[in-house]
Chain A
């Protein structure tokens, strides 16, 4: 059972375009993290959101945690070829564990 669904699965856009990736669940998470992964490498942490309704900005990337802490979105403004990669959301349930439940992933390709 996949608890975190990401959409879209694949996205191919031109440099300069904007895009939004969604991460949805029917479950509540105590926090949610976004990662970017390049082929053959481990995921790199981009941001952690903790509070319902929280918005965080990282240069051209804007992350939002849903009010009910069940969903999140990642918006990229003026995408660049360097943004190409697999974007993964991951939810933490809290309690005495660092276990993460990963989303299905969104593969982004930004064409120059």
Chain B
């Protein structure tokens, strides 16, 4: 069974640009969550999607957005990039809808210059 796939693995962007990251969950998993990991703040929750609906959102500015498609694949978008957005962005998928184990992808390393 394939794991969680995130693309791309690495990205370098310039301040002010926007970026879209992609996540394909484990087959059969309907819940996808996104996290930002930085050395200073650790792993912080961005948002969660279940059956194409955003079910929960963390404390991030509106520049961070996401969506989920009917095949459960998810994308997150960051607009007007800032230097502080440089981080490892992690996607996690879960099988059932409520309070279950999360399986993470390898992440996308975003560097904003």
Residues in B whose Cβ lies below 8 Å from that of A104: 42
Number of inter-chain CB pairs below 8 Å: 74
Asked if B33 contacts A98 (CB within 8 A), the reply is: yes
- CB nearest to A92 among chain B residues: B99
Asked if B99 contacts A101 (CB within 8 A), the reply is: no
Residues in A whose Cβ lies below 8 Å from that of B105: 42
Find A42's partner among B58, B98, B104 (CB 8 Å cutoff). Answer: B104
Asked if A99 contacts B4 (CB within 8 A), the reply is: no
Q: Which of B4, B35, B106 has the most CB of A within 10 A?
A: B35
Q: Which of B55, B56, B58, B101 has the most CB of A within 10 A?
A: B101
- CB nearest to B33 among chain A residues: A98
Q: How far is the CA of A92 from the CA of B102 in the complex (A)?
A: 10
The reply to whether the CB of B66 lies closer than 8 angstroms to some CB of chain A is: no
A-side residues, CB < 8 A to B, are 2, 30-31, 33, 35, 40-45, 48, 88, 90, 92, 94-105
The reply to whether the CB of B31 lies closer than 8 angstroms to some CB of chain A is: yes
The reply to whether the CB of B64 lies closer than 8 angstroms to some CB of chain A is: no
The reply to whether the CB of B48 lies closer than 8 angstroms to some CB of chain A is: yes
The reply to whether the CB of B74 lies closer than 8 angstroms to some CB of chain A is: no
8 residue pairs bridging A and B, Cβ less than 8 Å apart: A35-B104, A43-B90, A97-B55, A98-B31, A98-B50, A98-B99, A100-B33, A100-B45
Find A94's partner among B4, B48, B99 (CB 8 Å cutoff). Answer: B99
Asked if A40 contacts B56 (CB within 8 A), the reply is: no
Asked if B106 contacts A42 (CB within 8 A), the reply is: yes
Find B102's partner among A2, A30, A94, A98 (CB 8 Å cutoff). Answer: A98
Asked if A41 contacts B106 (CB within 8 A), the reply is: yes
- A97 CB to nearest chain B CB (Å): 5
